[in-house]
Amino acid sequence: MLGFFHRFGSCFACVSEPDVTGPKIFQVKTGSLAKSCSNDTPTNVGRSRVVKSKLMPGKVSKVVLDDWQVSGVTTFANGLPSDVSFSTTDSFDFSGGGESCGVVQTANANLPRDQRTVNQWFNTGVFQRPSGRLDIGNNCNNAKFILPGFNNHDVSVFKTFHITERKVLQFRAEAYNLLNHTQFNAVNTAAQFNPGGQQTQTQFGKVTSARNERRMQFSLRFSF
C-alpha cells in the first residue's frame, strides 16, 4: 500500500508502507522506497541579453560548465512474497481430487539476512510432505517466504549545446544499476518428496538468476 509522497527541493521520494501477508507464524512483510532527483547547473542572463556562466566568468566556461542536467532514480525494495509448490516421486493424490493447500509448512521459512546464501535463500527444512490422504497442507494464502529484494541506482547526465537560437545539440549519458551490485532475482520454489518424506529436489531453495548487470548508453540529439 502507498504510504506517502513528498518533495525535497528537486527530489521526490515515494515510500510504500510494509504489507503484512500470511498467518501470524508465517507472516512476511514487504515495502519499498523510491527517490528521484534532478538538478541543473545555473545560468545567468545579463542586461546585455548575452547568456553568461553563473559558475565562472568567460565564454569558454559557459560552454564547458553550463547547461548540464543530472537526474537519477534510486530504489530500495524488499522482495515479494512467494509460494512454494511441491510434487512427489510416487504421484500420490493427497486431496482425493479436491482442493489442496499444497505443502505442509511447520515454521517461518524466512532466514535472517546473514544466513541467506545463493545455495539456500530460505529455510527449506520447514516444508514437509503431507502425511497422507486428506492432508491438504496448512497455508493456503500462497505467502511462504520473501524473494530477494533489491537496491538500484539509475543516473542520467545531459549536456546541451546551443548552436543557434533554434539549433540545439544534446549529449546524453545514462547508466542503469550504476553501482553494479549483484542483485539476486528468482529462487527455485519447487520441492519434491519421495514416499518416505525426504525432499529430493537438489535445486530447491537455491537462487537461479540475477537482475541485469550495469548497463550504459550514450547518444547525441540534434534539434532544429
Radius of gyration of the chain (CA): 27
**Distance between CA atoms of 31 and 2, rounded to whole angstroms?**
9
Identify whether 1 is part of a domain. no
**Distance between CA atoms of 8 and 5, rounded to whole angstroms?**
10
Find the domain containing 84 and state its range: 7-223
Total domains, the chain: 1
pLDDT in tens, 175-220: 999 999 888 999 999 999 999 999 999 999 999 999 999 999 999 9
Cβ neighbours of residue 113 closer than 8 Å, sequence gap 6 or more: none
Predicted pLDDT of residue 77: 85
Residue where the block lists cell 539549433: 167
Identify whether 174 is part of a domain. yes
**Distance between CA atoms of 143 and 123, rounded to whole angstroms?**
14
Identify whether 2 is part of a domain. no
Instruction: Give the model's confidence band at 42: pLDDT under 50 very low, under 70 low, under 90 confident, else very high.
Output: low
**Distance between CA atoms of 14 and 11, rounded to whole angstroms?**
10
